[in-house]
Structure 1
């Protein structure tokens, strides 16, 4: 407790202590049930005699503010009736619990339960064994070497550890890239496309240039020649669900060389979108083109890991490392070594195979149990487990969403997930635990059935 006590105050010290505690209860600093310091501890903290504190506590106990029990801490009386504070006072602190839907079906990177807890614990133990050493702001050498080996085995990318820079995730990786390229850039983005990273661009004072796409990715013939960089997702094209084919990739790289444009390749979710082998990255195909690849650990390891990496070309590796040196270490050294252990131990590759099997099973269940129930349901192409529901009117969509929310289910909106998209709902089942998958499947099914009866008047 932070109490203001003064020997120069006209009131006795015990009176001051009691008044301060009453005020703390009134303004919400102390709540019913909270423990207060022992008389000895508070006396030592305030530099006063213990007798003064005992006198104050006795007074407060008599007034019903404190509850004392033998062998238990003294507490603010749990049954103390506290007057409701003004709204302005209530806003001054954060609530301990925030009401939110029990299950979120908003699309999210990563897959729940992909790595066992025991495997994580082993990785942390191995990471903690290493003594602290000099910090490399570009990333722990063990992790950069592990990523280089992983990319060689999983993506056929021959890169040196020196070309890899560790980041705090894809957004921070993009920030570092743009900072290394200069100021007042014109950055091309896919239209339609994923809005997650494109929102970073104007924050740094750069101009977003929308570039048309078709079923094969960005339409190279229509690309402007005066952009400084182009952000693309060749392995995850919206709304077509496919990947950029080899001829279009070659055409894009030729254009990049000709126009001297830096290509920024967002490689999110790639390894989990292909049951056999993902297509090679643009950087592994490039010869003279300046291509940087953004990678993340959210998909393969955990969506709670705020860690990623950039694979830099020789042309920008030095500038990117300089930016990283200025900004400092983005991820703790222990976390980096734990990730390195998981990569070296083959956990990421085994996880990829296990997740593919799980996603295939979930797609089959969705196809059999939900798609036939709803006329406007469409299972997203590829290997994911995202279901799009489109409605006849916004009112029908809002009613459906409200019914799901009442059942504890939160859904995503097409309009917030993709640029120039529809206004339907997107329900993603990929990241759920087995238990939540079953519960959400039942809730969505019941909602479809119930609203179907309501709309038909039955």
Structure 2
């Protein structure tokens, strides 16, 4: 069963308190910590009772206690909602800026574009059929009628002030909607003022590189293998890149040099190996940042699509030192051409990001931002993401089964806990070139993980990455079967 709340809810039945009191305490703590942000709709008492094996009267009693204390409000015929208690203003004072970057560097010199691997995820041109390309979502079930209606409405709402320059950091309505979205789906602690809207995740990387990197001096740790467009933005800003290996628990924190000042990670679904960073590694990375006055850039590019009932908290959620900058995008949860992403940043960084954003593009499309805000607040994004999560889960399972049954002699699939691609290791590295060549022909879009390495001599990432966002189950089976037949013919 999918989790009702997107955070762990421990209802340990030991102790003196009743179950209603425990549920009330856990939900109240989630509201205070803004895991349940103001305006968030609570699930029905019946749904909570079924999900956690409780009597419905127990859930009703917990909700009544929250309502009596003013933490939630109810209206006839509508779901209970979290009340706005102004908690974000009181929590904001707890976070202090890191020692290193009290005054962010603003060196915006023009730089030659750095070389990137010609990857599908980085924007390489593909034929009409996307195949197993990485990072390609399926838009066939997107609610285009709803989007079209909201787009017309968004244009009319924004018409009076759409002739001027929009706020560089994004429309207030969209910033508030994003804050609610990431709080409810990823337990990210933030408010409207902490959000800067960007033109996709790539602009977010570019802005952060311009603001945080001191040309020729700042050492930035990147995952190896990792995401090429992120490396491009960092190189253009003059960063000294330090490749750090990745294993089955994510970034190897023990390999980080003490003089690294920025660490870039994809902890929820490492790109491209697909592993999730373990809780121990997450805590170790936060401790490294605290001890060495470093900043962490957390790229959560497809965190909405998680499989299993126990989601891992984002690094930003665990952060208590204002060290983590959280980057998200709607390219995977909606569609890439929307070109909207966001940065959730600590208070010490917001002003510099807004100024840099204003220098880059001075705002954005008012009507589209208003439309997306309404799409989120009306619950359409959450419903669409839930529906697509089920579809992608089925495709993930189909691909895992197909690799196990058809390609077991050559590949070992690593089941991903999130996202829309998976990684399969070579059983015999000596066959790597042959397998990759045939995969390019029979499993179009699938890509050798070695393409994403900074240091080609590294043995990390020996395998193939398969995207499963753009293919249905039948297409997956056919392609993997064809690849298996081609490999067998070579024996």
TM-score (norm 1): 0.69
Residue 224 of structure 1 and its aligned partner are, at CA, apart by: 1.7
Report the counterpart of residue 199 of structure 2 in structure 1.
Answer: 168
Matched, 1:404 2:439: no
Distance in 2 of aligned mates of 1:318 and 1:147: 18
Cα distance change of structure 1 residues 211 and 372 upon mapping to structure 2, 3 Å threshold: same
Distance in 1 of aligned mates of 2:479 and 2:318: 46
1:386 to 422, 427, 441: 422
Distance in 1 of aligned mates of 2:310 and 2:338: 24
Residue 173 of structure 1 and its aligned partner are, at CA, apart by: 0.4
Cα distance change of structure 1 residues 398 and 282 upon mapping to structure 2, 3 Å threshold: closer
2:144 to 99, 117, 136: 117
Q: How many equivalent pairs are there?
A: 352
Cα distance change of structure 1 residues 353 and 251 upon mapping to structure 2, 3 Å threshold: same
| CA-to-aligned-CA distance 1:45-101 (integer Å, 9 cap, x gap) | xxxxxxxxxxxxxxxxxxxxxxxxxxxxxxxxxxxxxxxxxxxxxxxxxxxxx9936
Q: CA RMSD in A?
A: 2.7
| CA-to-aligned-CA distance 1:282-319 (integer Å, 9 cap, x gap) | 22222224221111111211133221000010111111
2:377 to 336, 341, 344: 344
Residue 220 of structure 1 and its aligned partner are, at CA, apart by: 3.3
1:430 to 458, 465, 469: 469
Residue 162 of structure 1 and its aligned partner are, at CA, apart by: 1.3
Contact 1:109 1:269 in 2 (8 A): no
Report the counterpart of residue 185 of structure 2 in structure 1.
Answer: 154
Who wins on radius of gyration, i.e. which is larger? 1
Distance in 1 of aligned mates of 2:433 and 2:309: 42
Matched, 1:310 2:343: yes
1:376 to 405, 410, 428: 410
| CA-to-aligned-CA distance 1:11-37 (integer Å, 9 cap, x gap) | xxxxxxxxxxxxxxxxxxxxxxxxxxx
Report the counterpart of residue 414 of structure 1 in structure 2.
Answer: 449
Report the counterpart of residue 7 of structure 1 in structure 2.
Answer: none
Deviates further, 135-144 or 319-328: 319-328
Cα distance change of structure 1 residues 255 and 368 upon mapping to structure 2, 3 Å threshold: closer
For structure 1, which runs of at least 5 residues remain unmatched after alignment? 1-97
Matched position secondary structure for 1:174: helix
Matched position secondary structure for 2:338: coil
Contact 2:130 2:470 in 1 (8 A): no
Matched position secondary structure for 2:149: helix
Distance in 2 of aligned mates of 1:242 and 1:316: 29
Residue 137 of structure 1 and its aligned partner are, at CA, apart by: 1.0
Report the counterpart of residue 18 of structure 1 in structure 2.
Answer: none
TM-score (norm 2): 0.65
Matched, 1:206 2:257: no
> Which residues of 2 match residues 37-56 of structure 1 at below 5 A?
none
1:444 to 476, 480, 489: 480
Cα distance change of structure 1 residues 292 and 389 upon mapping to structure 2, 3 Å threshold: closer
Contact 1:232 1:266 in 2 (8 A): yes
Contact 2:264 2:298 in 1 (8 A): yes
Distance in 2 of aligned mates of 1:186 and 1:364: 40
Report the counterpart of residue 9 of structure 2 in structure 1.
Answer: none
Distance in 2 of aligned mates of 1:426 and 1:182: 31
Matched position secondary structure for 2:221: strand
1:327 to 342, 347, 360: 360
Distance in 2 of aligned mates of 1:188 and 1:214: 15
| CA-to-aligned-CA distance 1:175-222 (integer Å, 9 cap, x gap) | 111212252222111234333412321122211012344433333343
Cα distance change of structure 1 residues 448 and 128 upon mapping to structure 2, 3 Å threshold: same
